[in-house]
């Protein structure tokens, strides 16, 4: 999966370098873009009242097979750091760690501010649609990978820290000057920091990893440096 994701990022770059081999007619009617960005947000692996913060970076590639329709496909690779102290956790646990995530997603995009003149031919209309700013919404399949785990507290490590799988709801809105703001929410079916809490009389899990699930949220900005 990771190899396929890397190829998905490399493919548009190679095509751009070999532009002499690709005619304008071949690209007509489709569009793609590649962006990098930063984000902040919240991370919750213990389901407590106050969430630890996160901060990270992302790289994102989107491909629209037919600009006259709304469907598009995309992929994102990101990494983020999260930290929270014991006062932010109902059970007195400290959360600290670094994670990477990979997401592939289909979605719908809607052009913004596109206007057509009566004299515009079909080719010009497609070019305007391809270059238009867009609002996007998508649902993705996500793999989250713990890179550094340093969570600690009064609990115990009930679960191994392994990769988790889940889904993410994604939205973005294009701004002028190649900027895009985005907001994502992700649910992973694993307690990503592995730190749980047990009572004094049994091994019953009564806190964070009772449900063995993690959530994290991102809000940030992307800068588009490849668009065609």
CATH number at residue 197: 2.40.160.20
pTM, 2 dp: 0.75
Structural domain for 165, as ranges: 2-18+32-114+125-227
Taking the CA atoms of 217, 112, 76 and 227 in sequence, report the sign of the dihedral they define. negative
From first to last of its 228 residues, the chain has per-residue pLDDT tens of: 544 544 444 445 445 444 433 344 445 678 888 999 999 998 887 655 567 789 999 999 999 898 878 899 999 999 999 887 666 566 666 777 899 999 999 999 988 877 767 777 777 777 777 777 889 999 999 999 988 877 666 665 655 678 889 999 999 999 888 899 999 999 998 878 766 665 555 555 454 455 678 889 999 999 998 777
Q: Answer yes or no: is 94 within a domain.
A: yes
Q: Is residue 176 part of a domain?
A: yes
Q: 143 lies in a domain? A: yes
For the chain, the residue count is 228
**Residue 23 domain-assigned?**
no
How far apart are alpha carbons 228 and 210 in whole angstroms?
47
In a domain, 100, yes or no: yes
Contact 174, 198 (CB under 8 A): no
At residue 12's C-alpha, the angle toward residues 9 and 18, to 5°, is 140
Question: Quick one: which of 174, 70, 35 has its CA closest to 112?
Answer: 174
Domains identified in the chain, total number: 1
């Amino acid at each position: 999966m990771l190899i396929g994701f890397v190829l998905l990022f490399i493919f548009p770059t190679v095509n751009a370098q070999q532009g002499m081999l690709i005619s304008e007619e071949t690209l007509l009617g489709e569009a793609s873009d590649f962006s990098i960005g930063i984000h902040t947000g919240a991370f919750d692996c213990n389901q407590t009242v106050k969430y630890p913060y996160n901060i990270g970076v992302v790289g994102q590639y989107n491909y629209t097979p037919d600009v006259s329709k709304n469907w598009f496909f995309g992929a994102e690779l990101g990494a983020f750091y999260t930290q929270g102290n014991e006062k932010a956790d109902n059970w007195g646990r400290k959360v600290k760690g670094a994670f990477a995530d990979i997401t592939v997603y289909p979605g719908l995009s809607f052009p913004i501010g596109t206007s057509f003149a009566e004299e515009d031919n079909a080719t010009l209309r497609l070019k305007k649609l391809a270059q238009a700013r867009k609002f996007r919404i998508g649902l993705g399949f996500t793999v989250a990978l713990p890179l550094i785990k340093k969570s600690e507290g009064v609990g115990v490590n009930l679960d191994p820290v392994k990769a988790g799988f889940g889904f993410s709801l994604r939205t973005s809105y294009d701004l002028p000057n190649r900027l895009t703001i985005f907001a994502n929410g992700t649910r992973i079916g694993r307690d990503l920091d592995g730190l749980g809490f047990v009572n004094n009389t049994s091994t019953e899990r009564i806190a964070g990893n009772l449900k063995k699930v993690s959530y994290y949220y991102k809000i940030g900005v992307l800068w588009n440096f490849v668009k065609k």
